[in-house]
Amino acid sequence: MEWINSLPKIELHAHLNGSIRDSTLLELAKVLGEKGVIVFADVEDVIRKNDRSLSEVFKLFDLIHKITTDHQTVTRITREVVEDFALENVVYLELRTTPKRNDSIGMSKRSYMEAVLEGLRSVSEVDTDFVTESNSQKIRNACDGVRRKKIYVRLLLSIDRRETTESAMETVKLALEMRNVGVVVGIDLSGNPLVGEWSTFLPALQFAKDNDLYITLHCGEVPNSKEIQAMLDFKPHRIGHACFFEDDDWEKLKSFRIPVEICLTSNIITKSISSIDIHHFADLYNAKHPLIICTDDFGVFSTSLCNEYALAVRSFGLSKREAFTLARSAIDATFAEDEVKQQLMLIFDSASPESL
Ligand code: 6MZ
Judge whether 297 and 279 are in contact, CB under 8 Å. no
Ligand 1: atom nearest CA of 193 is 1
Judge whether 301 and 17 are in contact, CB under 8 Å. no
Q: What pLDDT digit, counting tens, does each position of 302-356 carry? A: 999 999 999 999 999 999 999 999 999 999 999 999 999 999 999 999 987 777 7
- Give residue 137's pLDDT: 35
ipTM: 0.99
- Give residue 10's pLDDT: 98
For range 193-221, the mean pLDDT: 98
What is d(CA 83, CA 90) in angstroms, rounded to the nearest whole number? 10
- Give residue 136's pLDDT: 34
What is d(CA 55, CA 60) in angstroms, rounded to the nearest whole number? 9
Q: Residue 333's domain spans which residues?
A: 3-351
- Considering the candidates 221, 227, 261, 308, report the single residue annotated as catalytic: 221
Q: Is the CB of 74 under 6 A from ligand 1?
A: no
221 among known catalytic residues: yes
Per-residue pLDDT band at 56 (split at 50, 70, 90)? confident
Q: Is the CB of 261 under 6 A from ligand 1?
A: no
- Give residue 135's pLDDT: 41
Per-residue pLDDT band at 186 (split at 50, 70, 90)? very high
Within-domain flag for 356: no
**Statement: residue 134 has pLDDT above 50:** no
Residue 193: Cβ within 10 Å count: 22
- Whole-number Å distance, alpha carbon 160 to ligand 1 midpoint, is 8
Q: Looking at per-residue confidence, does 275 or 140 come out higher? A: 275
Residue 83: Cβ within 10 Å count: 18
- Closest by Cα among 284, 109, 97 to 187: 97
Judge whether 92 and 11 are in contact, CB under 8 Å. yes
**Statement: residue 228 has pLDDT above 80:** yes
**Residue of 16, 66, 158, 216 with the most ligand 1 atoms within 8 Å of its CB, for mutation:** 158
For range 282-295, the mean pLDDT: 98
How many domains is the chain partitioned into structurally? 1
Ligand 1: atom nearest CA of 270 is 11
3-state SS record for the chain: CCHHHHCCEEEEEEEHHHCCCHHHHHHHHHHHHHCCCCCHHHHHHHHHCCCCCHHHHHHHHHHHHHHHCCHHHHHHHHHHHHHHHHHCCEEEEEEEECCCCEHHHCECHHHHHHHHHHHHHCCCCCEEECCCCCCCCCCCCCCCCCCCCEEEEEEEEEEECCCCHHHHHHHHHHHHHHHCCCCEEEEEEECCCCCCCHHHHHHHHHHHHHCCCEEEEEECCCCCHHHHHHHHHCCCCEEEECCCCCHHHHHHHHHHCCCEEECHHHHHHCCCCCCHHHCCHHHHHHCCCCEEECCECCCCCCCCHHHHHHHHHHHHCCCHHHHHHHHHHHHHHCCCCHHHHHHHHHHHHCCCHHHC
- Closest by Cα among 20, 127, 126, 38 to 75: 20
For range 294-301, the mean pLDDT: 96
**Statement: residue 167 has pLDDT above 80:** yes
Per-residue pLDDT band at 133 (split at 50, 70, 90)? very low
- Whole-number Å distance, alpha carbon 136 to ligand 1 midpoint, is 33
What is d(CA 200, CA 193) in angstroms, rounded to the nearest whole number? 13
Q: Is the CB of 218 under 6 A from ligand 1?
A: yes
- Closest by Cα among 130, 83, 123, 77 to 100: 77
Please tell me the residue having the least CA distance from ligand 1 atom 22. Answer: 61
- Give residue 210's pLDDT: 98
For range 144-173, the mean pLDDT: 89
What is d(CA 219, CA 242) in angstroms, rounded to the nearest whole number? 6
Per-residue pLDDT band at 140 (split at 50, 70, 90)? very low
**Statement: residue 147 has pLDDT above 90:** no
> What pTM does this model have?
0.94
Q: What is the CATH number of the domain that holds 314?
A: 3.20.20.140
- Give residue 139's pLDDT: 37
**Residue of 61, 159, 161, 239 with the most ligand 1 atoms within 8 Å of its CB, for mutation:** 61
Dihedral, CA of residue 296, residue 27, residue 121 and residue 127, to nearest 10? -70
**Statement: residue 46 has pLDDT above 90:** no
- Whole-number Å distance, alpha carbon 239 to ligand 1 midpoint, is 14
**Statement: residue 138 has pLDDT above 70:** no
Within-domain flag for 39: yes
Ligand 1: atom nearest CA of 16 is 24
Within-domain flag for 38: yes
Q: Looking at per-residue confidence, does 26 or 217 come out higher? A: 217
Within-domain flag for 76: yes
- Closest by Cα among 98, 93, 97, 128 to 336: 93
